[in-house]
């Protein structure tokens, strides 16, 4: 296969200054940058899962997804700050709003998103979940049209701890309950009564910031002179969105009792599919510029990502049968999502370090323009 590729794409001839790179490599570090890409994307997708879970009355899944969303945003922000050359100046990110800078847009999105998800997660922690067959859990669900609410939540059976969780799950539930009790005791009573509605509202608004969180990072890396990133600006958002959804689905299924995690598993499968397809399309369309996604360390990372993601996605539909299967599927998907982000960063660095990827496409562009101009001139002459 590799030999065939070489025959089809002859060795590109180009000139350079002693083989030195033309552009500067991205200076973003590992693990900060790729882990942020993973956490931020996962947080964005998880906030959407959380909102849907809240709307459909799935309290347990909503709790997990809200915690994942808030944790991902907060953890990601910490990695971002640590990545700065002057971390103490991180607030300068909010000094201006610049639509021409995806990082400026992203900083504002992250600031709003982390606030919203923290509020949503906080309220989910202090609000006792609806007792089995009780009234709707929140004012939001109560405000839904009665028929919809009945369809979505009325017929749900109560989760039975013996079947869903097992010992570990029960311990987790008890831990959450204890934490909730301490939180409630620490808060003023007024806040405790107001929090559920506020949290639900915040969680709903995060539906707007979530998709941005999962995709803006693709625009961020594409909006550079790095050939393997810039020329991939069509597929990268889908790759990142799919990876984010797979990551969020995986994290949510790992931390939710089996019975409640159905939508998380479905989301993980869909996300993994989008991620895999987008990655394959990207590498194919990029041609020579896609080499860094196939070769070297970055190529190995991308292949590892694909294997893990596909394996996790194949396991996900049966992951509801047991904790082991869930763990295998969730961890494989998480590993895949992480490998994708590390691979993309490495591929960008590799494509910036070799002048070939900068010079050859630009030469081809100039040559095409020259031929176009020559054709235009010939056409004009013919007309005369």
Partner 1 sequence: MAERMGFFTDTSICIGCKACEVACKEWNHVPDDGFVFRATSYDNTGSLGADTWRHVAFIEQPGRARDGRGPGGPDGSDGAASNGGFEDIEGWLMSSDVCKHCTHAACLDVCPTGALFRTEFETVVVQADVCNGCGYCVPACPYGVIDRREGDGRAFKCTMCYDRQLGGLEPACAKVCPTDSIQFGPLDELRARAAERLEHLHAGGRSEARLYGADPGDGVGGDGAFFLLMDEPEVYGLPPDPVVTTRDLPAMWGWAAGAALSMAGAVAISFLGRSRSFPGRSR
Find the binding residues for partner 1 in span 166-225 (CB under 8 A): 207, 211-212, 214-216, 218-220, 222-225
Can residue 371 be called a binding residue for partner 1 (CB under 8 A)? no
Residue ranges with strand state E in 99-144: none
To partner 1, the closest distance from the beta carbon of 359 in angstroms equals: 5
Cβ atoms of 301 and 342 closer than 8 Å: yes
One residue of 118, 274, 302, 337 binding partner 1 per CB under 8 A? 274
One residue of 78, 90, 187, 192 binding partner 1 per CB under 8 A? 90
Q: Which of 16, 7, 57, 53 is nearest to 249 (CA)?
A: 53
Can residue 10 be called a binding residue for partner 1 (CB under 8 A)? no
- Which 335-364 positions form the footprint of partner 1 (CB under 8 A)? 348, 352, 355, 358-359, 362-363
Can residue 237 be called a binding residue for partner 1 (CB under 8 A)? yes
Can residue 79 be called a binding residue for partner 1 (CB under 8 A)? no
CB nearer to partner 1: pick between 266 and 327: 266
Can residue 139 be called a binding residue for partner 1 (CB under 8 A)? no
Size of the site for partner 1 (CB under 8 A): 95
Coil/strand/helix, residue 25 = coil
The interface mask with partner 1, positions 285-324, x = CB under 8 A, is ----------------------------------------
Can residue 15 be called a binding residue for partner 1 (CB under 8 A)? yes
Cβ atoms of 343 and 298 closer than 8 Å: yes
Q: Is the torsion defined by CA of 321, 324, 330, 333 positive or negative?
A: negative
The conformational region for residue 133 under phi > 0 = left, psi -120 to 50 = alpha, else beta, is left
Can residue 375 be called a binding residue for partner 1 (CB under 8 A)? no
The interface mask with partner 1, positions 30-69, x = CB under 8 A, is ---------------x--xx--xx--x-x-----------
Distance CA 199, CA 192 (A): 11
Can residue 92 be called a binding residue for partner 1 (CB under 8 A)? yes
CB nearer to partner 1: pick between 193 and 362: 362
Spatial neighbors of 372 by CB under 8 A, at least 6 apart, are: none
Cβ atoms of 179 and 125 closer than 8 Å: yes
CB nearer to partner 1: pick between 56 and 64: 56
Distance CA 193, CA 269 (A): 38
One residue of 40, 249, 292, 312 binding partner 1 per CB under 8 A? 249
In Å, what is the CA distance from 316 to each residue of 10, 120, 310? 42, 27, 10
Distance CA 359, CA 13 (A): 10
One residue of 122, 196, 263, 330 binding partner 1 per CB under 8 A? 263
Helix and strand numbers (H, E) in the chain are 16, 0
To partner 1, the closest distance from the beta carbon of 55 in angstroms equals: 8
């Amino acid at each position: 296969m590799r030999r065939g590729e070489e025959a089809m794409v002859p060795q590109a001839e180009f000139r350079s200054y002693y083989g030195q790179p033309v552009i500067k490599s991205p200076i973003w570090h590992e693990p900060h940058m790729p882990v942020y890409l993973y956490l931020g994307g996962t947080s964005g997708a998880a906030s959407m899962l959380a909102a849907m879970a809240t709307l459909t009355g799935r309290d347990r899944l909503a709790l997990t997804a809200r915690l994942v969303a808030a944790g991902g945003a907060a953890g990601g922000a910490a990695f971002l700050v640590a990545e700065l050359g002057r971390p103490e100046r991180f607030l300068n990110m909010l000094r201006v709003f610049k639509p021409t800078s995806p990082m400026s847009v992203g900083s504002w999105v992250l600031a709003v998103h982390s606030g919203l998800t923290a509020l949503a997660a906080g309220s989910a922690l202090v609000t006792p979940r609806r007792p089995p067959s009780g009234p709707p859990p929140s004012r939001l669900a109560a405000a839904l049209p009665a028929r919809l609410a009945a369809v979505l939540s009325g017929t749900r059976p109560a989760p039975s701890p013996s079947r869903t969780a097992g010992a570990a799950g029960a311990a987790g539930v008890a831990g959450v309950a204890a934490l909730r009790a301490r939180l409630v005791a620490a808060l003023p009573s007024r806040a405790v009564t107001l929090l559920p509605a506020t949290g639900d509202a915040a969680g709903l608004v995060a539906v707007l910031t979530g998709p941005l969180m999962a995709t803006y990072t693709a625009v961020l890396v594409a909006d550079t002179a790095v050939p393997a990133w810039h020329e991939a600006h069509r597929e990268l958002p889908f790759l990142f969105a799919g990876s984010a959804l797979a990551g969020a689905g995986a994290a949510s299924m790992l931390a939710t009792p089996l019975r409640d995690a159905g939508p998380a598993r479905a989301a993980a499968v869909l996300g993994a599919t989008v991620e895999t397809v987008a990655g394959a399309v990207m590498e194919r369309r990029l041609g020579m510029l896609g080499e860094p996604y196939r070769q070297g360390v970055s190529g190995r990372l991308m292949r590892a990502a694909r294997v893990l993601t596909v394996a996790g996605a194949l396991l996900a539909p049966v992951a509801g049968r047991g904790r082991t299967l869930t763990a295998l599927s969730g961890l494989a998907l998480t590993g895949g999502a992480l490998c994708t982000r590390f691979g993309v960063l490495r591929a960008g660095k590799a494509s910036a370090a070799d002048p070939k990827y900068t010079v050859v496409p630009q030469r081809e562009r100039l040559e095409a323009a020259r031929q176009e101009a020559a054709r235009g001139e010939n056409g004009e002459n013919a007309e005369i």
